[in-house]
Structure 1
Amino acid sequence: MASTDTGMPLDAAAIMSTVLEGILYGFSVLMFIGTIWTFTYKKRMRDVNRPIAAVAVFLFLLSTMHMVIDIIRVEDGLVKYRNTFPGGPAAFFADYTQETYVVKTTVILMQTLLADGVVVYRCYVVWQSVWVAILPCMMWCAIAVCGSYMVYDLSLASDAESVFTNQSGRWVAAFIVFTFATNLVSSGLLAYRIWTIERSVSTIRTRRGIRPIVRVLVDAAALYSATTFSAIICFALSNNGTYVIGDLINPIISIAFYMVFIRIAINKDTQKFLSVVPGTIETDREIPLHYPMQTLQIACRDDTSSWLK
């Protein structure tokens, strides 16, 4: 495959992707620590949002597993099998039939499903409508199906035929496209809903508390979407940059979600707004302002509203 693909040699791409992934992974570790701190600082254990903490921990574990596997693959391709693998290091990294590559792809699938699942759930929580969540849910299921077939085909492959042209490549392309579309649609619906709520309650002094939500959601979605869109472009051009971007997606997924967790957790005005009692909105004078909860039913209880993090 190394001779037919465009772009840099795959051994050089492996070195570049591992170095860049290591930098982003280190940054994601710091953000993970910050996320856990915001969840636990001056809080009792029973007050900690356990589902969100579990998501953060799983994202960290999956990105760590991916980082470890990439290091193992670089060591195998450039040191352990450098002189024994037919075709040399470039052919080693082109051979996606290896167990380490299949495990690595499985980790990517699991992290993508977890991350996109959280985005879809946020969308449902904010809209409080099953009908709005139907399309994102269907797209999430498409990610699961395409990703499962992708891993299955890789596990059964008997040769290192180009992933850009074989059956596995079609599933890879569908997986990336659905990931991009799901994140874009879900984040767009989420940001639009919060924006419309802000306009509806513009007379209340919550504007400065709501705008940061929209900004951080848009920033996280833009970061995630830009990465997946770059992967789509590289894959369409049969460029080896696909492998580099594919390795960078995992830490970027974690970073994008930690951004949301931390930013909203430290915004006390946002927390207060999202924790409003159903049927009322507390103003600065603590006078309950009645508002139709059909359009403002974000959080009926604290554990639900905190999923926005």
Structure 2
Amino acid sequence: MGLPLDLSAVISTTLEGILYGFSIFMFGVTLYILKENSRRAGRDLNYKMVSLSVALLVCSTAHMIIDFVRVCRGLVFERDSYPGGPIAFFAQPSESTFVAKNAVYTIQTLLGDGILIYRCYVVWQSWLIVAFPIVLWFWIGVVGVLCVQSASVVPMGAGTVFLTTVGRWITAFYASTLATNFFVTILLAYKIWTTNRRMARARQGSLLPVVRVVADAGMLYSVTLAAALGCFVQKSNGQYVVLDMVCPIISITFYMVIIRIGLAESQRSTDLGTGSGLSVPHHQPTFSYGGGRIGDPARDQAVPMSRLQVHITKVCETDVATLENEGDTGSETDRDRKMAGLEVRNVV
């Protein structure tokens, strides 16, 4: 026996509410991280990231409100007046709240996937690399519009989304956004991983924590989309549950990248400011005096603090033209040191 539609509506709205509350908390932390990092770096607040954070929160809030209204109408206000009762109410694709929530979901998916593609472009600095994901992104927009349009014209009593023409567009939508997320996440992780190898060879640090952050966010979103696609292909009402969970998860994955990288930067700054950087691992900025590294007891005792010099490696992305203009010596070591950069704050 499958999951009843009225029960799935209650479960999905409850789970969405829990995740939505968590996303609100993460939204607040994200704004705090963005503000503190900009203040610490002495630069203006990243209004682009703030605007995207607010846009995702607005979409999640709108979807949550629509789902709450939908449950109230189906189980309370129109329970006895709607033809066929609550089951028929939640099964009807052209019902106004169902159409509205899918429209909001389409917009939020485009926002989330667009942000991911933008991060990929920032890392690669090549439109050619992101050309295919951009084509997929436009296709997702077209399919999303067709999903909403086809659902809005389904006649009363014609069947559920599994039995109408809406089904094929929903399947295409899930598959397209899953492919986009998976492909772009691999591109991001690969670029950061290869950059990390060059940085390690030049002894400039490690970006493996960034790889883990990107991979974790991509994995969370991909698993949720794969579950939604699997449920829909199997014509399971569980897809309604997963679908309502996707909206707050899109926001959570976006906030998660900013928070984790921001906290890592803040911790490094704190370690350097308090002197705890004397024993930091190799992937963190190191303090050096003369030719030796602070942390060697034999050297530390002989180092006069008034002559202490701090050298902090600045990691940046540099193209070939810039290297030539700066008088690159052409040696492999010099080129690796310059090309191995990736400014983490641009990724978020």
Using the size of structure 2 for normalisation, the TM-score is: 0.77
TM alignment of 1:225-240, pairs within 5 A? 225-240=222-237
User: What's 2:18 paired with?
Assistant: 23
The CA RMSD measured in Å over matched residues stands at 2.4
* Cα distance in 1 between the residues matched to 2:314 and 2:7: 48
User: What's 1:291 paired with?
Assistant: 335
* Cα distance in 2 between the residues matched to 1:64 and 1:134: 32
* Cα distance in 1 between the residues matched to 2:45 and 2:334: 30
1:187 matched to 2:185 = yes
User: What's 2:345 paired with?
Assistant: 306
User: What's 1:37 paired with?
Assistant: 32
1:13 matched to 2:8 = yes
**Contact conserved, 1:127 with 1:298, CA < 8 A, in 2?**
no
Deviates more, 1:127-136 or 1:55-64: 127-136
1:242 matched to 2:236 = no
User: What's 1:153 paired with?
Assistant: 150
**Contact conserved, 2:9 with 2:71, CA < 8 A, in 1?**
yes
Structure showing greater radius of gyration is 2
TM alignment of 1:140-219, pairs within 5 A? 140-160=137-157, 161-204=159-202, 206-208=204-206, 210-219=207-216
User: What's 2:99 paired with?
Assistant: 102
**Could you report, residue by residue, the CA deviation over 1:203-254 in whole angstroms, capped at 9, with x for unpaired residues?**
455544x111100111100100000000111011000001110000001111
Structure 1's 293 and 62: CA in aligned 2 closer, same or farther, altered over 3 A? farther
Structure 1's 307 and 171: CA in aligned 2 closer, same or farther, altered over 3 A? farther
* Cα distance in 1 between the residues matched to 2:170 and 2:314: 38
What secondary structure sits across from 1:70 in the alignment?
A: helix
What secondary structure sits across from 1:132 in the alignment?
A: coil
* Cα distance in 1 between the residues matched to 2:229 and 2:317: 44
User: What's 2:293 paired with?
Assistant: none
* Cα distance in 2 between the residues matched to 1:36 and 1:19: 26
**Could you report, residue by residue, the CA deviation over 1:91-136 in whole angstroms, capped at 9, with x for unpaired residues?**
1111121221111101000000000001111111111112211111
Taking CA–CA contacts closer than 8 Å with sequence separation of 6 or more, which of the two structures ends up with the larger relative contact order?
1
**Could you report, residue by residue, the CA deviation over 1:165-224 in whole angstroms, capped at 9, with x for unpaired residues?**
32111111000000100000001100000000000110455544x111100111100100
Offset, 1:139: 1.1
Offset, 1:296: 4.5
* Cα distance in 2 between the residues matched to 1:43 and 1:218: 25
Using the size of structure 1 for normalisation, the TM-score is: 0.87
* Cα distance in 1 between the residues matched to 2:237 and 2:181: 24
One-letter identity of the residue aligned with 2:57:
F
2:86 to 67, 79, 89: 89
**Contact conserved, 2:195 with 2:342, CA < 8 A, in 1?**
no
One-letter identity of the residue aligned with 1:22:
G
What secondary structure sits across from 1:131 in the alignment?
A: coil
What secondary structure sits across from 2:128 in the alignment?
A: helix
* Cα distance in 1 between the residues matched to 2:317 and 2:252: 32
* Cα distance in 1 between the residues matched to 2:143 and 2:220: 23
Q: Which ranges of 4 or more aligned residues in structure 1 deviate by more than 3 Å?
A: 42-46, 203-208, 269-275, 277-280, 292-299
One-letter identity of the residue aligned with 2:193:
W
What secondary structure sits across from 1:8 in the alignment?
A: coil
User: What's 2:132 paired with?
Assistant: 135
Offset, 1:40: 1.4
TM alignment of 1:29-68, pairs within 5 A? 29-41=24-36, 43=38, 47-68=44-65
* Cα distance in 2 between the residues matched to 1:12 and 1:190: 39
**Contact conserved, 1:125 with 1:298, CA < 8 A, in 2?**
no
**Contact conserved, 2:3 with 2:238, CA < 8 A, in 1?**
yes
One-letter identity of the residue aligned with 2:99:
V
One-letter identity of the residue aligned with 1:77:
G
User: What's 1:285 paired with?
Assistant: none
* Paired residue total: 290
Offset, 1:275: 5.3
1:259 matched to 2:256 = yes
One-letter identity of the residue aligned with 2:195:
I
What secondary structure sits across from 1:266 in the alignment?
A: helix
